[in-house]
Amino acid sequence: MVRTASTVPAAPANPTAAPACDSASASAQHPVPHPARLVALLPGRVRALLPARSAANGRRLRLALTLLPLVLLGAWAAFDWRTVHGGAVRLASADPRWLLAGVLFTGLCSVASAFVRQGAVPERLPPGQLLATQFAAGAAGHALPGNIGAHAVVLRFLRRQGIPLARATSSLALYSAVKPVAKTLVIVAFVVAFPGTLRLTELLPKGETLALVGAITGVSLAAVVTLITTVRPLRRPLIGGLRTALTDTRIVHSRPGRALALWGGAAAFPLCQGAVVASVGSSLGLPVSWPQMLFAYLVASTAAGAVPAPGGLGPMDAALVFTLVAFGAPAALATTTVIGYRVLTVWLPLLPGTLVLSALVRAKVL
């Protein structure tokens, strides 16, 4: 024990090199359990159903992952085909120049998301593969609730880049934590910049709604705390992951470039999404100003974020229509605007996104 203690290196002379050492020591002291150990925690009957690890099973799994996006695309199209067809028919009379602007803003959403992902890790990621991964993750994110599909794609990409599982997971946690904070700051900036344009009194929820939201939040927090304190196998990896996340957060914010990419991209993403709504609304002649349409998206996406729907579909659409109507838009025109927004942000990039996802799996980038 004495010999081990004597071999601990002294603090580096360069202060900028200390965070990296702290990150490595944090990962070593609080490792995330190996997948085999996690499998060992499963009941015996569940472990018996898992396939044995072999080269043949690995090839089958990779083929399944390659075909899965295309299968999800077909299922999604069969489920929501009427909405897509109706929106396309209504958008036939829209101004194509504004629709082209909406397509441009849709592409910028992937760029903004790529900046956030890069800002959440200290290592430099290959820009081309990162952008392609974010484009593919956008398609995967619409298949599962809570953006789980997108996080799974990005986690696989980070692991392929040699980032340890603990630090890759902490980057996802940092990404998920920064985005709502940045969106809240953007909302505050809109309220300060356009005090007379935004009809805040008509958008504020009633007392019953606030009470329901508060009750749901309280129950969710109590459930998480109870789960962490009672399930011992989860306690150690969660605490270790939290310490790793705090260490990496300090490293990222000690580098101005990473911090700017993290917070700048997080603030730009909802603005690009709102610009898609505003572009579609302008193409249809919606009698609502651009600041109001941008703010309508910010408020609607914030209100619908607590509902675990795939890609925010359903609750997000209803909240956005309600907000646009509150700003003076006709209900039918507001509904068409939301359908056009969904066509540009979901259906238009879904097919190329799934193809890119399959190509990244075949190229072993994922």
Report the distance separating Cα 168 and Cα 175, nearest Å. 11
Is 344's pLDDT higher than 50? yes
Higher-confidence residue: 277 or 91? 277
H/E element, 242: helix 232-253
Give the pLDDT score at 133.
93
Indicate whether 39 pLDDT > 60. no
CA-CA-CA-CA torsion sign (86, 92, 94, 100): positive
- 290 vs 93, residue with greater confidence: 290
Q: Is the pLDDT of residue 260 over 90?
A: yes
Residue 341 CB contacts under 8 Å (≥ 6 apart), including other chains:
102, 276, 277, 280, 320
pLDDT for 82 equals: 67
The residues, any chain, with a CB within 8 Å of residue 125's CB and separated by 6 or more, are: 117, 118, 158, 161
Q: Of 81-90, 144-153, 349-358, which range is least confident?
A: 81-90
Question: How far apart are alpha carbons 264 and 266 in whole angstroms?
Answer: 5
* Closest alpha carbon to 143 in 358, 309, 13: 309
Q: What is the pLDDT of residue 342?
A: 86
- Among residues 298, 297, 280, 315, the alpha carbon closest in space to that of 87 is found at 280
Going by pLDDT thresholds of 50, 70 and 90, the confidence category of residue 119 is: very high
Q: What is the pLDDT of residue 28?
A: 43
Name the one residue in this structure whose structure tokens are 């509150």: 326
pLDDT at 259 over 60: yes
User: What local confidence, expressed as pLDDT, does residue 238 receive?
Assistant: 62
pLDDT, position 157: 93
> Average pLDDT over the chain, rounded to whole?
75
% of the chain exceeding 70 in pLDDT: 59
* Lowest pLDDT segment from 53-62, 125-134, 157-166: 53-62
Give the single-character DSSP code of 11: P
pLDDT at 15: 43
Region 277-287: mean pLDDT is: 94
| DSSP element (H, E) containing 10 | none
C-alpha span between 172 and 117 (Å, rounded): 8
Give the confidence band of 274 by pLDDT, cuts at 50, 70, 90.
Answer: very high
Cβ–Cβ < 8 Å for 170, 266: no
- Per-domain residue ranges of the chain: 58-362
pLDDT of residue 152 exceeding 60 = yes
Tally the C-alpha atoms within 13 A of residue 268's C-alpha that lie toward its C-beta. 18
Q: Which tops the pLDDT comparison, 163 or 84?
A: 163
**Which residues in 151-170 are b (16+ Cβ under 10 Å) and which e?**
bbbbbbbbeebebbbbbbbb
Rounded to 5 degrees, what angle do the CA atoms 258, 171, 66 make? Answer: 115
Q: Express each pLDDT in 294-336 by its tens digit.
A: 999 998 888 765 555 555 556 778 888 888 988 888 888 888 8
- The top-scoring range by mean pLDDT among 50-64, 172-186, 229-243, 265-279 is 265-279
Distance CA 272, CA 81 (A): 26
pLDDT of res. 92: 77
The better pLDDT of the pair 260, 205 is held by 260
Higher pLDDT, 4 or 300: 300
Token pair 């209803």 in the structure block, residue: 318
Task: Check pLDDT > 60 for residue 73.
Answer: no
Separation CA 284–CA 38 (nearest Å): 53
Out of 116-125, 200-209, 247-256, 310-319, the most confident range is: 116-125
What lies within 8 Å, CB to CB, of 296 at 6+ separation is: 274, 277, 288, 320, 323, 324, 326, 327
pLDDT band for 212, please (50, 70, 90 cuts).
low
> What's residue 2's pLDDT?
43
Strands (E), the chain: none
Looking up tokens 């920064």 gives 178
Determine the Cα–Cα distance for residues 272 and 110; give it in Å rounded to an integer.
10
